[in-house]
Structures are given as C-alpha cells and as structure tokens.
Chain A
C-alpha cells in the first residue's frame, strides 16, 4: 500500500517534471508543455483524493525523475511561483511516509561575504522547509544545511551562472 502511494506520487511527479531538467528554467515560463504538465498535476495534488489518479510504476520516487532543485531570484529566499508545485510534491512524499528523510541544501551565488552567504543559503533552505511543513511534512523529517557559495554548480562569473547557483537541493537521505 505504501509503495503504491509512493509510486502514484512518483508518476505525477514524473509527469510534472518530465520537461524540467536540472538546469535553470526560464524565469518567465513560455514553455507551454511545462505549464500544461504543471497545471494538470495540480488538480491531482489538491483534489479530495490526491492519490486517486495514480498507477503503480515502482518505488523509485527518489531515483531522479523528480526535480530536486529549487532556484531563487537574486537576493531572495522566496520560493518562486514556478516551483511551488514541485515543493508541494515533495511535501506530499514526506507527508505520506514519516520514515522518509530529506536534507535541504541551501546555496547562494558567489557575490559578497562568505559567511553571510551561508546565512542566505540557510534562509532559502528554511523557506523550502517551512513550505514542506505547512503541507504536512514534520520537522523531524527535514534537516537543513547551507553551503553558501562553497558548492557552485555553474562556474561562470555572470548572471546566468549565479542564477544556477542560487538554489536549494532536496536530497533524500534514506
């Protein structure tokens, strides 16, 4: 039963995130496929029976089909509208199995002071954590860590690289 639930979530997540790779999405989404998949999945998540439309495809919910990276605007720790659905899906996974644990890894771009950037990365991780908890995850399931600017994924010194580095990575730890 448990596996079935997870699998159902996985399917929905796969539907939603299939178009979103681990690169930075366009801040103003013009990709219609992306939008359509997103709004399609929305009704499932927020409907009376969020798992009703699911179908078992296996229990590899953390195997990588779900986008695990949430990007942020400059100087902001607010989860952008284009990522609230993704966070909601992770919340659902956590809410449905209290044994599942995640670590939220917050990151900042390279500008400014390093320890202050640790603070900015943590603020972003906490922003995702609160959103997960509001939607049913419990505090004991979530650990946060901030790497500040110490673990960039993009190495350039331009806005494009900085945008890829301002992120929270959701990592399943069990």
Chain B
C-alpha cells in the first residue's frame, strides 16, 4: 500500500506540458557601461489586427538581461521605422542610440510568417546584419531569441545564448509533504515546463550534448537511481540502480557515456563511467574517500570530480580512459562540484570563502581563482554554452533562487521564480537547428 503510494508519487510530463508562472529577472549588479540600443517595435502585415508576438520586446529584454545593453524606451523614439530604408540616423544620434534594430513580421500562410530584422550602427550609418527567418506561431518566440543572438554576437563578439534553455529542480513543502519538480524553461524564464514531479527528492539534472535528454537522480522507492528522460516524449529509462548510492550523472561530450557516482553496499563513493548502449560500467577511482560530482572536460579526455581524500573536499581530475587522479585546486579548504567552461579555459566550483559557500571561477592555465557570487550558500554553478556566463543557485530568505553572473564577475543578476525552493540550475548546450 505504502509502496503503491510512493510509485504514484512520481509523475512524468511531456515537454509540451503545462507552463508555470514566468520567472522574473532583477539585476543585482552591473559593473560595466551599458550600450544604449533601440529596438523599434516590429511592423506587422497579416490577417489579425495585432502582431502574434511583440518580437521587439523579446529582443530588447534579451539585450537588457545580458547586462551589457540599455534599450531605449519606446516613448523616447523619434521615429518608428520597420525597414532600414526608412531610418533617419540623425534621429537616433539625437537619442544617443549606438545601434538600432528594425524589423517586421509578414504573414505568408495560415500559420506561416516571415520575420525579418536589420541591425544598424548609428555612428557608421551602416547595416551590421540583416536576416529573414520563417516562423510559425509556435516558433516565433525562439525566432526572436535567435535574432537577439545574432544581434548580440554582432555587437559584442560573444555568441548569444538567448535561444538556450535552463533545467532546474524546485521543492515545495505543503503540510509537511515535499513536492519535487524537474523543470525546463527558456533561459529568460518563459515556457517553464515541469517534466517530472515526485514526492521523493529529484537531484542533479544534466543535459545531453544534443539538448534532447536530461539525466537526473530520483529517490523514488526510497533509494537513489539514475534516469535518462527524453524531453519531447517524456520517455524515461532507469540507467543505474545499483545497491547504495547512484548519483551525480554527467554526459560525455559524445553523449554515449555517463560519468556517475556509485557507492556500493559499503558506501565508498567512486567515479564510474557507464556506457549507455552496452550498460557496462567502468570504475575510474578507487580511493576510500568520497569521490563524486564527476564532470567531463569538453574534449572528453578528463573527468573532473570532487574528492575529500586530502581531508576536505577539493577538485581533482582523472583521465576518462583511466589513470592516476591529480589534484586541481589548492586554494581554500572547500572546493566542490567542478564544471569546466565549454571552451575549456575556466573551471567553476563551489568555494568556501571566509565562511560563505560561493561560486568561484578558476583560470585553468594561471590557476587564478575569482569569487564571482556574494551569497552565503551559493551552489551548483553551470556555464552557459558561450562560456561567458554562469547560472547558479543562491538563497533569498530561506528559499533558493537563481542568479547568473558573467565569468569575470562583473554582471550579476537574479532570476527568481515563485515556485518554492529553486536549486540545481543547469544551462543547456546550444540548440541544434
């Protein structure tokens, strides 16, 4: 009876499931000058009176949230052109815009649209980029994010991540019953979708390199097991259910293997590698200390992990093919949950900083460590696929909320959600179109 209740406590949702309240974003720190840009409301040519989506608003919000741009309010615009030919650069110099985005949406079928946009440099009076992208009502928001990505990259030289997603776990307590949810949302908080709900803990989500699957730990039936769930279908497969701990999954860059933590009946946590097609596991570490939180280097050669073999937790790495672990971090008494940036240049971790657990970023070459968060219990750093920004969980009062910070620590912002205690954010790879 109890067992049935526990099984019934796990519910799987398709990725297209019900959307929850949007995440709102507040900026908590901005250490760099924001470039003024104008994103002019898009023109509309179609059957209905109103444009299906305010694309200019989506683009402006993306640029604003990057922390590097200050969009000019619509009421300050002296003209509202929808194509480059209508631009009067003097008007935009006057309102001190350094760049202007104009565009329009043209309906071409019942559920078919062409979204076009152009980006202009006001000083040089020239077009920097222009595109026309076909869209449907369902894809229009992601098309707007892709436009923002192209604009952002043109203006900063950094790839935009506005079309990516973030997965995270929420926990909500009502009358002593905790409900855990695994949630996937667009990086701006839109389209928040629950993909798994359980009365038992859900932990450690990890994206597959193709962004189509999530690995995670579930405690259904009062024991830990590792699952891989396909987002589109909701189909979930239990890939590790050994005696003792099954935890901390991390996909290899080719998506064929998972690094895992297995504890066994005697509870000796070690890093193992599971081949997802043969289901064979290979043990990589053997130390009697806690070895956990394995994470692949982007080139697939190493697995970085946390070990307390020296006393407190520190970051080590071991060749993925097997070999001798070597210690990577030496600064401070507590360094855990290592995550390498996709370009391999930086290592993010949880670092004990004068009594506070904070996110630190280490330059892999110089070994220089920079604390980039300011909370007391910050955790779960995860790099955006452009290696420029990280997302992590911090506390606001007693609840977990999400923040992003640039890897140089200069721009930090809060991403807060109304859905209880938010934790363990993981940023998706770039989508594959």
**CA–CA, A156 to B263, complex, Å?**
30
In the complex where A112-B334, A114-B379, A150-B203 touch, is A145 in contact with B261 (Cβ < 8 A)? no
Query: Per-residue 0/1 for B239-268: is the Cβ within 8 Å of any A Cβ (1 yes, 0 no)?
Result: 000011101100000000000010101110
Report if B127 contacts A (CB, 8 A): no
**CA–CA, A118 to B267, complex, Å?**
11
Query: Per-residue 0/1 for B84-102: is the Cβ within 8 Å of any A Cβ (1 yes, 0 no)?
Result: 0000000000000000000
What residue of chain A has the Cβ atom nearest to residue B376's Cβ? Answer: A157
In the complex where A145-B224, A147-B219 touch, is A115 in contact with B337 (Cβ < 8 A)? yes
Chain B residues near A145 (CB, 8 Å)? Answer: 219, 222-224
Report if A56 contacts B (CB, 8 A): no
Size class of the B contact interface (CB-based, 8 Å)? 35 or more
Q: Are B265 and A115 in contact (CB under 8 A)?
A: no
Chain A residues near B173 (CB, 8 Å)? Answer: 155
Contacts of B409-433 to chain A: CB distance below 8 A:
423-424
Report if B204 contacts A (CB, 8 A): yes
What residue of chain B has the Cβ atom nearest to residue A145's Cβ? Answer: B223
**CA–CA, A126 to B204, complex, Å?**
23
Query: Per-residue 0/1 for A35-52: is the Cβ within 8 Å of any B Cβ (1 yes, 0 no)?
Result: 000000000000000000
Report if B136 contacts A (CB, 8 A): no
Q: Are B247 and A115 in contact (CB under 8 A)?
A: yes
Q: Are B248 and A115 in contact (CB under 8 A)?
A: yes
Report if B350 contacts A (CB, 8 A): yes
**Shortest distance from the beta carbon of B217 to any chain A beta carbon, whole Å:** 8
**Contacting B336 at CB < 8 Å: which of A110, A116, A156?**
A116
**Contacting B292 at CB < 8 Å: which of A110, A115, A129, A144?**
A115
What residue of chain B has the Cβ atom nearest to residue A105's Cβ? Answer: B222
In the complex where A111-B357, A150-B203 touch, is A122 in contact with B377 (Cβ < 8 A)? no
Query: Per-residue 0/1 for B195-207: is the Cβ within 8 Å of any A Cβ (1 yes, 0 no)?
Result: 0000001011000
**Shortest distance from the beta carbon of B371 to any chain A beta carbon, whole Å:** 15
**Shortest distance from the beta carbon of B128 to any chain A beta carbon, whole Å:** 43
Report if B192 contacts A (CB, 8 A): no
| Supplied contacts A113-B293, A116-B293, A125-B267, 8 more A-B pairs, CB within 8 Å | A112-B313, A112-B350, A112-B379, A115-B248, A118-B203, A119-B245, A123-B267, A151-B201
| Nearest 4 interchain pairs by C-beta | A119-B290, A150-B201, A113-B336, A126-B267
